[in-house]
Structure 1
């Protein structure tokens, strides 16, 4: 484990949650002082204000650039407006107003000055029209920009693929790396890497979730698409790669111990049942699993299979506990957003 990560290990307790909620770091509660006499009125006013604010905002999962050069999902409150998908992309422009809400070291990923001139969603395809500033990027950023746009827009249920235009004209390929800019889907991957010793012509992608940490100690999940040797059992292969952890020299870390065994992974209907060895329970003296490990398993399995929920067992037993007292004896649903701000 990286040296900088050891110091915050006790803080890495990210809760598993139900549909519609978010994966994100917990913060310890401050000591509670005796409430003043008018506290109930203040609380009622605050709740009313919070409810009113919530009614005017959407929590959206957007994609930004970390200072390690990774494309990272981060969920922000975006005002509810007509054309919310267009608004989402505008929040991702470098130097924009959204940057003040990001963790230290995060920045917008779309070239500075980019304007989203239009966005139309039809039959599952989002056609987004950028201004010419969209093409003002460094060549090394080409894949990252396309990944960020694609993964942000396909986060909306109505969008399955993305086509890009510039000034109203279809952009067949990006100008610097000649990467296709039409028919973009999540199958193209994100933060793409090739596993050591893999024949690219006989490979397949698996998307894995590792942990990163910003300069201000914000801990977040990072999706990494790794090309591995083609095999039939994609789900089990993904779990084995998750356990292997990030590539050597990466600033990311794995939430699972390298000694963890994968006994089996089976997808039944909308649920993936993943059975691990007892090594999964080596997180504490109480023989419980790390919530980060369980979260990473849920995110990775739902990304690589058709499953919407994940049931985790250890040597066939379903009473898996996590540090902090939670019990994971029931299937857990993938959240709609991860890495939320303001939590």
Structure 2
């Protein structure tokens, strides 16, 4: 991908808004930065936090990120608007939205499809707060799926729920009984499932699975309406002790299949160093195509933040290019201070 194309496409990306977190006050209030990204109005422009709050109060819904399957068969996090009743639970509402042909299927954007089998009901949903554990009990219809879809089903449920505040692990039950393995193809389930299960799993050629390290990366794809969105991929690579640095190097290498996913970085970017201190991951890049004062591709910067927070578990990321941190991207987002991972992404215009 040449520089012009990457910069041009990056300017189109409005999927993420990264709040700057500094010591003391940040760009957004603490409440806002931990809440939701500004939604898009029908012109594609971000509305204010105040407008977002008013919309929710007026019953227009609140943002929620749910994993659907795209037209290439990849799972992707999609932000949708959902109205949550006073007695409803966020996790249960998200799972109900994931049911094929369910009552909330009209909320799914064009080009995406629900992954839970038709007729599936969420019979129970509980969160054990001190364990950060969500227990979901599905109806028998949950077991009515093709063997080839088994892993995607587990990944979608796990990544949707663990994307919510206070949930880090999941148990899947059916009709009141905990599953030790999936019922169709026998995928083993640990006592609890975490994001360590991976998503959209792939492997480098010739990889020895027993001698590999998983890294989760974010590449881009395009909807039928020509809107760009991020797709997470867990790639197995040769074993490494520096998973964070390896993840950025794999971002630079790009997707294994250019037919389904597109690169977010150009090959001339070099990872000089990755360090971790005080809950901040610092990524130092050398980029021959970048000059100080120029806007860096938003798509690249955002993908680095996503990959670093996913692979390190840290909350904030500082990015330096050619030794400088006074960087703004093509969405006019400043990276002069560490930025946090957004809670929601891939919000499409209505």
* TM-score, normalised by the number of residues in structure 2: 0.84
Alignment of 1:143 with 2:151, yes or no, is yes
Q: Identify which of 91, 96, 110 aligns with 1:90.
A: 96
- Deviation of 1:101 (Å): 2.8
Distance 1:270 1:214 in 2: 35
Aligned partners of 1:278 and 1:314 also within 8 Å? yes
Distance 1:80 1:26 in 2: 20
Describe the superposition over 1:89-136 as per-residue Cα deviations: whole angstroms up to 9, x where unpaired: 001101124333333220111011111110122232211111111011
Alignment of 1:52 with 2:50, yes or no, is no
Q: Between Structure 1 and Structure 2, how many residues are aligned? A: 323
Provide the alpha-carbon RMSD of the alignment.
2.8
Q: Identify which of 193, 196, 199 aligns with 2:205.
A: 196
Q: How does 1:329-340 map to 2 (within 5 A)?
A: 329-340=336-347
SS of aligned partner of 1:261: strand
Q: How does 1:156-171 map to 2 (within 5 A)?
A: 156-171=164-179
Q: Identify which of 116, 121, 125 aligns with 1:119.
A: 125
List alignment gaps of at least 5 residues for structure 1: 31-45
Between 258-267 and 121-130, report the one with greater CA deviation. 121-130
Q: Which residue of 2 aligns with 1:64?
A: 68
Larger Cα-atom Rg: 1
Alignment of 1:275 with 2:284, yes or no, is yes
Q: Which residue of 2 aligns with 1:43?
A: none
SS of aligned partner of 2:172: strand
SS of aligned partner of 1:11: coil
Q: Which residue of 2 aligns with 1:319?
A: 326
Q: Identify which of 213, 216, 221 aligns with 2:225.
A: 216
Q: Identify which of 53, 74, 80 aligns with 1:76.
A: 80
Return closer, same or farther for 1:85/1:173 CA change in 2, 3 Å cut-off. Answer: same
Aligned partners of 2:117 and 2:142 also within 8 Å? yes
Aligned partners of 1:280 and 1:314 also within 8 Å? no
Return closer, same or farther for 1:149/1:201 CA change in 2, 3 Å cut-off. Answer: same
Distance 1:237 1:298 in 2: 14
Distance 1:338 1:205 in 2: 23
Distance 2:39 2:306 in 1: 12
SS of aligned partner of 1:277: strand
Distance 2:95 2:333 in 1: 36
- Deviation of 1:195 (Å): 1.3
SS of aligned partner of 1:301: helix
Aligned partners of 2:305 and 2:317 also within 8 Å? yes
- Deviation of 1:250 (Å): 3.9
Return closer, same or farther for 1:280/1:306 CA change in 2, 3 Å cut-off. Answer: farther
Aligned partners of 1:260 and 1:276 also within 8 Å? yes
Aligned partners of 1:14 and 1:23 also within 8 Å? no
Return closer, same or farther for 1:260/1:101 CA change in 2, 3 Å cut-off. Answer: same
Aligned partners of 1:16 and 1:332 also within 8 Å? no
Between 187-196 and 93-102, report the one with greater CA deviation. 93-102
* TM-score, normalised by the number of residues in structure 1: 0.85
